[in-house]
A and B are shown apart, each in its own frame.
Chain A
């Protein structure tokens, strides 16, 4: 966009009437905040599109949650039998979407009608000040936006992902489809799996039974979309009462009454693969979206773990000094002496037989092998803060150690901790991807970016797309975290602010 058209847009938008601020983003536009306005507007349009195209799933998710809640209140544990992991996933997605759809316009409106008067600098809180500094760095804001969108997609993934990431359907036809290709299918009358949710007929009358019936219906819609029996084919034509379809080299004769509906329009369809399929015919794009949950959640939790342990050790070590300090820092030295990836691999190897999914082990190992740097950092901070006048004053007033540490020292040491943690997330995501790539990460069939790349590495010459796209996703995520970390460092460092 050139400077001129930008100015024009600014001029135009200043004439927008106040009422229009009710449309998310337009309020910002009216106030001359072109970029924020456009970002808010297009984000909201994106959310509306998701809600529109996945309306059925969205509403069923909300219904299912509501009915379950009511049943839980009035009937206790009984509806628990109906809970399944994928339904909870839908609840989260639908509720999150609803919350965003409501919250964004309200927030944008209140923000845009707010008469902001410049107060003198002393009246601004530290956080607001840091945010102002952070906003100055375009590229860091861009990174933050990318991260927020990625977490949003991860939470919304049943609604965003076009297909079931683990569905294995007619691999003979669907495997190794290149990006931007599509495969035709016939829809069969009977669902793929005989109704998982038992028929509603056996239930009697009454409010509760009615509720259960509705819950089952809603859950059925949520699960059903993945259970429809689709027959993927290369070609087909109608011969009298039969449909003759070819799947690669083999041919099939299917009676027409086994297909859904009456005419070809009812039973035929096309599935579009944006980023192609893998060797089992699974959609890479959907797997990428579902895989983002592993990387994003794991990175965040592992870092929280590392920060907690590291801060605790650093505080104790720096504050109490002497004997405590010496022994803790020796321990840190020893742990730092283990080569990182090597060490992680060995622990995972030794703890292979576990009664719980390996994800937990990986989170624990990644978290517990990356706190040492933070503890050294915190210790350094505490050592210098300990000698500051306000800490000496607190001590002279006879405050307890706990209070001095938590109220006086920790808040002042928080800045480098936050920066370090943000910069560390990228590294942890890379290690997780490497583990998955070595087939020692999250167990298949759960998708993670690393194991999608692993799944494609033997087919590089024939199906390059499998391993290529997840790599871009990893690079984008890690860069974004690093950009935000750099931005935070510059924004939070008071020396630069002056």
Chain B
């Protein structure tokens, strides 16, 4: 097992390396000299030169590339233009906010997805299956941001049940601990629902397919033949194997935990990574944009790695390959 993990980790290193390389070249390919991105408007050429030297832009390209790799490896992302704070600090503020949103959404996604998928597979061909199939297709085709707006329209504006935006109420700081958490929870309901609901449709389809594959197998017939109740056959024998592909989703969802909520964060004005990115894009805050690319790319690689390892944990055959 350990050997397998080590192998996987070693395989991930060139991936991160390639990721950073491509990011470097995309940034260099973008129109305009990076220095001119830092300097807005007409600046004295002397100052522009100095900026260029400061950023090491007069070095030859390979030297710049090595410096870039070094900076990314040590997490030196520089200082934000628009906020005049170190990028690392900005990210440190935003990451927990996004994580609480996306982690809950991921739980909802898997719980709902497994439930729907199982229900659909067990009742295959019946009206329950047909309805869930059609519903899943429908949900899958709804734009997230539109669903969010419609929920705000119905639940927040018309029924006035839940807050429509932000993470806390304006007076949240003065609330006692319990009320503070309740306030946060209220703000979480809609965004978590939007994020989790749409992806649950996909997970449900996945679960259905995989469960149907498993149910056909001989050992399930054996379980039925020895007189086990159906819920035990499905719940204990079939589900365990059917969950394997679903577990992969958990691993592959890791990058989603940081970057998957851009649109939803924008709609709900959630102070997370997505909003940081959008703000950075609109104010041309390049150090932040670059840092986000590197961090999110890193998360994807980590997610793939985790998926591989989880896979090996649940399916011992893979370890031996």
Contacts and interface: CB of A to CB of B under 8 A. Distances in A.
Interface of A: 330-331, 333-339, 341-343, 345-354, 426, 430, 433-434, 437-438, 440, 450, 453, 457, 460-461, 464, 467-468, 470-471, 474-475, 478-479, 482-483
Given A334-B18, A342-B259, A464 B141 contact: no
Given A339-B260, A342-B277, A479-B138, A461 B157 contact: yes
B150 A468 contact: yes
B149 interface: yes
A482 B137 contact: yes
Contacts of A433: 143, 145-146
B153 A453 contact: no
Contact of A471 (B32, B143, B284, B292): B143
B145 A354 contact: no
Contacts of B31: 351, 353-354
Contacts of A338: 19, 22, 293, 296-297, 300
Nearest to B266: A438
Contacts of A468: 150, 153
B202 to A, nearest CB: 11
A157 to B, nearest CB: 22
17 contacts: A334-B18, A336-B300, A342-B293, A345-B278, A350-B27, A353-B31, A430-B143, A433-B145, A434-B145, A434-B263, A437-B263, A438-B266, A440-B281, A457-B149, A464-B153, A467-B149, A475-B138
A475 B141 contact: yes
Interface in B52-84: none
A339 B22 contact: no
6 cross-chain pairs, A with B, having the tightest CB-CB distances, nearest first:
A471-B146, A478-B141, A342-B259, A349-B281, A334-B18, A350-B30
B211 interface: no
B15 interface: yes
Contacts of A471: 142-143, 146, 149-150
B225 interface: no
B304 interface: yes
B116 interface: no
Contacts of B292: 342, 346
B141 A334 contact: no
A437 B259 contact: no
A341 B263 contact: yes
B14 interface: yes
A475 B138 CA distance: 8
Given A350-B27, A474-B143, A475-B142, A438 B263 contact: yes
Contacts of B297: 337-339
Nearest to B37: A350
A352 B19 contact: no
A497 B149 CA distance: 43
A369 to B, nearest CB: 12
A467 B146 contact: yes
B206 to A, nearest CB: 15
B238 interface: no
Interface in B283-321: 284, 286, 289, 292-293, 296-297, 299-301, 304
Interface core residue of A339, A440, A467 (most chain B CB under 10 Å): A339
B149 A345 contact: no
B262 interface: yes
Contacts of B299: 339
Contacts of A440: 281
B279 to A, nearest CB: 11
A346 B289 contact: yes
Nearest to B262: A341
A171 B256 CA distance: 42
Given A350-B289, A440-B281, A468-B150, A334 B15 contact: yes
B152 interface: yes
Nearest to A470: B146
Contacts of A474: 141, 143, 146
Contacts of B281: 345-346, 348-349, 440
Contacts of A341: 259-260, 262-263
A460 B18 contact: no
Nearest to B140: A482
B96 to A, nearest CB: 18
A339 B300 contact: yes
A350 B18 contact: no
B196 to A, nearest CB: 17
A474 B145 CA distance: 12
B143 A330 contact: no
Contacts of B138: 475, 479
Contacts of A337: 15, 19, 297, 300-301, 304
B152 to A, nearest CB: 6
A353 B33 CA distance: 12
Interface string B1-28: 0000000000000110011001000110
Contacts of A336: 300
A453 B142 CA distance: 13
Contacts of B27: 350
Contact of B152 (A348, A437, A460): A460
Contacts of A352: 284
Nearest to B147: A471
A70 B153 CA distance: 55
Contacts of B149: 453, 457, 460, 467, 471
Contacts of A467: 146, 149, 153
